[in-house]
Amino acid sequence: MKTKITISILFIAISLGLFAQSLTVSPNKASAGQTFAVTISGKNTAFLTGINTIDFVYNSAITKDAIFSNQNVVNDSLISGTISISSTIPNPYYFSLRISNTINPPINLLSGISIPDADTIIPRLYSTDNSRGFNIGQSNYLRIRGKNTHLTTTKNNIIKFYKYGIESKSISISNIRVYSSPYPYELWIDLIVDIKSKLGFYSMSVENEIDGIVFKDSIFEVLNPYPMLINSIDNRYAKRNEMKDVYMAGSQYAKFLTNPPTILFTKNNTVSKEIEVVSITAQNDLNATVRLNVKPTAELGIYTIAYFYPADLDTMFLKNYFIIGAAAGTNETNEIQTKIFPNPAKNLMNIESKNDITSLQIFDIMGKEILSKIPEKLTQNLQINLSEILIPKGIYFIKIQSLEGFITQKLIIE
């Protein structure tokens, strides 16, 4: 009796081993909107012998949020194909896989495809050097790490840099070093930042055969640590139909002699074609004389000086820094047209003019300039707080410039 029972159990075990069916799918993780190739492996499934219908099930019902296509039956135990995931599904999300076969009953894989949190599957890049900038004209390295990437296991990484969405040719790579320890998926990229690189933030992409193209915005910033600044400009007033020499003094990084800047005059954010820079004569790297030709048709008013140094690299502006007045030969305006009060003045001084005021200067009795002021916009009324300027008591001369000329008057400060 015992022998019969043992044989029966053995027969059942063998039968289950021969006819038990199972499924596996690879890969079994995806993201919303993704289309990817898969393989389905089976045991005792008769894929080749029967006709297969492959569906995905959610909440016990067949769903169209995951579609299997391009079915290719390799043998009785292997099918390849393509799965397309709807872009509207949330995450996390889980689909069951069901294969109906004309020979075997339906086979279910309870957790066929999972849509985990996007952060656990989508490849991402980040920099360990985001707090640092990269100076123009220098070589430096950039450390890049990935999440869900294959930077160190892929055969090849194609790296590109972008400025305003356009690939930059001024940032080049001299070497790429791959590290898998102590941090996984880390690249050290040796960069050469050309002298003509545009300043500001750059984006990058890394492309390989596993991850595809992965982008990262604002991966690093290109800086100019030695900008050329114009510290002062003399003779800031010119008239129509006049040839004018303007004297400029630059900062310690200026190179008027070895690499003079490009200088333009702008008004209302438009470059003026009526103020022509005839020549730039450098006395040395820090000082230069700029000869201007102000045409008869030049618009009256206040101009901004824009200058570039080096060419096409660094743009700087001196706002409201140059004035074009009436044509050469215009006489001084009548004192009746401009009022300065109170005079003597103590704390506040008011100026009223029938013409737009473009600038004012205060000189001591020896001719030394004590104050120079250009209004932010054209105005016929100005108020100067003398107590803030801290000008000592005494006798001075004030020169008020308007679009039609200028007036010089004695000023007493009490």
**Residue 178: φ, ψ to 5°:** -105, 130
374 vs 317: CA distance, rounded Å:
15
Position 13 scores a pLDDT of 39
CATH code at position 365: 2.60.40.3080
| Residue 4 lies inside a defined structural domain of this protein | no
Q: Are 246 and 235 in contact (CB under 8 A)?
A: yes
Question: Do 79 and 72 form a contact (C-beta atoms < 8 A)?
Answer: yes
Per-residue confidence (pLDDT) for residue 9, from 0 to 100: 40
358 assigned to some structural domain? yes
CATH code, domain with 149: 2.60.40.1930
Q: In CATH, what number is assigned to the domain containing residue 260?
A: 2.60.40.10
Q: What is the rounded distance in angstroms from the CA atom of residue 313 to the CA atom of residue 193?
A: 13
Examine the domain organization and report whether 215 and 259 are in the same domain: no
As given in the structure block, the two tokens for residue 173 are 């790579």
Do both 215 and 241 map to the same domain? no
Percent of the chain with pLDDT over 70: 85
In degrees, to the nearest 5, what angle opens at C-alpha 197 toward C-alphas 193 and 203? 80
More confident residue, 241 or 230: 241
Q: Cβ distance 299 to 286 under 8 Å? A: no
Q: Are residues 321 and 357 in the same domain?
A: no
Last residue of a domain, one of 94, 119, 144: 119
Asked whether residue 9 is domain-assigned, the answer is no
Mean pLDDT of all residues in 107-117: 78
Dihedral angle at the C-alpha atoms of 129, 194, 282, 262, nearest 10 degrees?
-90
- Identify whether 316 is part of a domain: yes
Same domain, 251 and 216: no
Is 10 contained in some domain? no
Q: Does residue 314 share a domain with residue 235?
A: yes
Residue 326: pLDDT band with limits 50, 70, 90: low
Total tally of structural domains belonging to the chain: 4
Pairing of strands 200-208, 158-163: antiparallel
pLDDT at 188 over 80: yes
Preceding peptide of 182 cis, ω within 30°: yes
Same domain (yes/no): 219, 234 = no
> Which pLDDT value is given to residue 371?
83
3-state secondary structure the chain: CHHHHHHHHHHHHHHHHHHCCEEEEECCECCCCCEEEEEEEEECCCCCCCCEEEEEEECCEEECCEEEEEEEEEECCEEEEEEEECCCCCCCEEEEEEEEECCCCCEEEEEEEEECCHHHCCCEEEECCCCCEEECCCEEEEEEEEECCCCCCCCCCEEEEEECCEECCCEEEEEEEEECCCCCCEEEEEEEECCCCCCEEEEEEEEECCCEEEEEEEEEEEECCCCCCEEEEECCEEEECEEEEEEEEECCCCCCCCCCCEEEEEECCEECCCEEEEEEEECCCCEEEEEEEECCCCCCEEEEEEEECCCCCCEEEEEEEEEEEEECCCCCCCHHHEEEECCCECCEEEEEEEEEEEEEEEEECCCCEEEEECCCCCEEEEEEEHHHHCCCCEEEEEEEEECCEEEEEEEEEC
Where does a domain end: 206, 223, 240? 223
pLDDT of 209 higher than 90: no
Beta bridge partners, 98, equal 55, 108
pLDDT at 332: 46
Give the residues across from 214 on adjacent strands. 206
Quick one: 188 and 146 in the same domain?
yes
Query: What pLDDT, on the 0 to 100 scale, is given for residue 387?
Result: 80
Tokens found for residue 96:
């069951």
**pLDDT higher than 90, residue 228:** no
Is the same domain home to 323 and 401? no
**128 lies in the same domain as 77:** no
Exposure on the CB side of residue 390, measured as CA atoms within 13 A: 0
Q: Which domain holds residue 302?
A: 230-327
Would you put residue 354 in left (φ > 0), alpha (ψ -120 to 50) or beta? alpha
- 283 falls within a domain: yes
Last residue of a domain, one of 290, 307, 327: 327
Token couple for 139: 């070589």
Length of the chain: 414
Q: How far apart are CA 414 and CA 347, in angstroms?
A: 9
Are 160 and 189 members of one domain? yes
> In this structure, are 367 and 390 located in the same domain?
yes
> Would you say the pTM of this structure is higher than 0.85?
no
Q: Is 259 inside a domain boundary? A: yes
Q: Which of 195-199, 288-292, 293-297, 357-361 has the lowest mean pLDDT?
A: 195-199
Task: Judge whether 3 lies within some domain.
Answer: no
Q: Are residues 193 and 160 in the same domain?
A: yes
